Structure 1
Amino acid sequence: MIDKDLRVSVCSVQRWRQTWGEGGPRALRSQGPASLSRLSEKQFAQLEAEPVKGPTAHGWEDQRWTLSRVKTVIGRCFHLTYTIQGVRKLLVRNGWSRQVPARRATERDGEAVAGWVKEVWPCAKGSRR
């Protein structure tokens, strides 16, 4: 019953009960995050300065920052290897969030976009075969 209410396995409930029996309620307290950040606060401050330089300073042609690119910058600057999910967790843990434009750019040229979709996109897309 408890396992279904908490949406955990029966084994977890049994392990919690055993832990509680051996150490009381204090034994069930959180031990903190499963892993500590491998970047120090000073290193993370250095990492935060990198996006200001822009992706072109790091060798990318467009102006997008992706998790993969942040992962590459971490590897180049600090000689550490993170997974994509590890980079996401690192950024979220330090207050970063996914950024999405609220509206379209005011400089957008609708006719140019329509022309590109009609003429260039079919060639770039290619056939399915």
Structure 2
Amino acid sequence: MRYPEGGGLTAERRAFREGIRLQAGEGFAAGEKTAVIAKELRVSVRSVERWRRAWREGGMEGLRSSGPANAPTVTDAQFAVLEEELGKGPSAHGFEDERWTLVRVQTLIRRCLRVSLSVATVWRLLKRHGWSWQAPARRALERDEHAVELWKKEVWPRVKASRRHVEPGSSSRTKPASR
């Protein structure tokens, strides 16, 4: 079961599921059949088979929870080091201008922390610690405000408009209105 706040199970739910696996382990030790254990615990036979393999390989410890699946790959101590490096600015790390892009932060993490993260993971890491993307402080010198306003008024409405004409009173976009 996934949660909208970023996934995984709560600690309480993880403990509950671990309890079910440990009950299955007691059944394995007693020599009960897989189908009987599945029916008693109201779980799938396939799950019980997977748990039995883990029990054979690691005993009851093999059935214990290994913690959240999405544990952060960068610890708080490592992030403190990263924050210090980010505070020095991009030029201190060899970048030509003063913008921190996600790719640059990714490169910095790889250099300083020796951890390889995807760009999406870098974004989630920064967001989790209260950082946001950098918006330009000023508009481009080449920007023509008159041309932009003209485009918004004349071109954009045509681009935005639907390409298919729908008859008034039609309940479907594929059928014309009946007469």
- TM-score normalized by structure 2? 0.39
Which runs of 5 or more structure 1 residues have no equivalent in the other structure? 1-18, 24-31, 115-129
SS in 1 for 2:82: helix
Distance 2:68 2:100 in 1: 27
How many residue pairs get aligned? The number is 81
The match for 1:91 among 126, 136, 144 is 126
Aligned residues: CA RMSD:
2.8
1:50 matches 2:85 = yes
Tell which has more relative contact order, 1 or 2 (C-alpha 8 A, sep 6+).
Answer: 2
Partner of 1:11: none
1:81 matches 2:116 = yes
The match for 2:99 among 42, 64, 69 is 64
Distance 1:104 1:52 in 2: 21
Which runs of 5 or more structure 2 residues have no equivalent in the other structure? 1-16, 18-40, 44-66, 144-179
Q: Given residue 81 of structure 2, which amino acid in structure 1 is its aligned partner? A: Q
Q: Which has the higher helix share?
A: 1
Partner of 2:175: none
Partner of 1:9: none
Partner of 1:104: 138
Poorly superposed stretches of 4+, deviation over 3 Å? none
Pairwise CA distance, 1:73 = 0.3
Pairwise CA distance, 1:33 = 6.6
Distance 1:68 1:82 in 2: 10
Pairwise CA distance, 1:22 = 4.6
Pairwise CA distance, 1:61 = 0.7
1:40 matches 2:75 = yes
Partner of 1:6: none
Which one is further off, 60-69 or 49-58? 49-58
For residues 6-43 of structure 1, the C-alpha deviation after alignment (integer angstroms, 9 at most, x for no partner) is xxxxxxxxxxxxx9x959xxxxxxxx975111111111
Distance 1:87 1:60 in 2: 18
Distance 1:22 1:50 in 2: 52
SS in 1 for 2:122: helix
Is contact 2:102–2:122 with CA below 8 Å preserved after alignment?
yes
Larger Rg belongs to:
2
